[in-house]
Amino acid sequence: MKDLEAIRQRVAEFARERDWEQFHSPKNLVMALSVEVGELMEHFQWLTEEQSVEIPPEKLDQIAREVADVQVYLVRLADRLGIDIMATVEAKMRENEQKYPADKVRGSARKYNEY
């Protein structure tokens, strides 16, 4: 799939074909998203910083599947709420650029209200 719209359509059709729309309330989707994020986090639990960067290929495949699960639920949630992810991300990035000007925050992990 080439873009988020194609993913949105595919996920919506997948749910429609299975009559799962009845279960896809925003509340349920957020809860399912949280579960998937937890499953993604499990792969990193107890790893050192170095280990979290140097993931073996077989583990990376498992992580990729969890990332896909997170993306599917996130796209589905946005669809059910009528949120245009691409437009919202663009607006949020403009906001972040204002809050975190590169010349002031380069190399720092401090929050915007700490510099």
Residue 113: pLDDT band with limits 50, 70, 90: confident
Angle between helices 26-42 and 57-81 (to 10 degrees): 170
Is the pLDDT at 75 greater than 60? The verdict is: yes
Over residues 16-21, the mean pLDDT reads: 98
Residue 29 CA to residue 75 CA, distance in Å, equals 10
Residue 87 CA to residue 99 CA, distance in Å, equals 19
Residue 75 CA to residue 92 CA, distance in Å, equals 17
In this structure, what token pair is assigned to residue 61? 């495949």
Report domain 4-83's class.
mainly alpha
In this structure, what token pair is assigned to residue 10? 């595919």
In the chain, residues under CATH classification 1.10.287.1080 are 4-83
Q: How many CB atoms lie within 10 A of CB 91?
A: 11
pLDDT given at position 42: 98
Is the pLDDT at 114 greater than 90? The verdict is: no
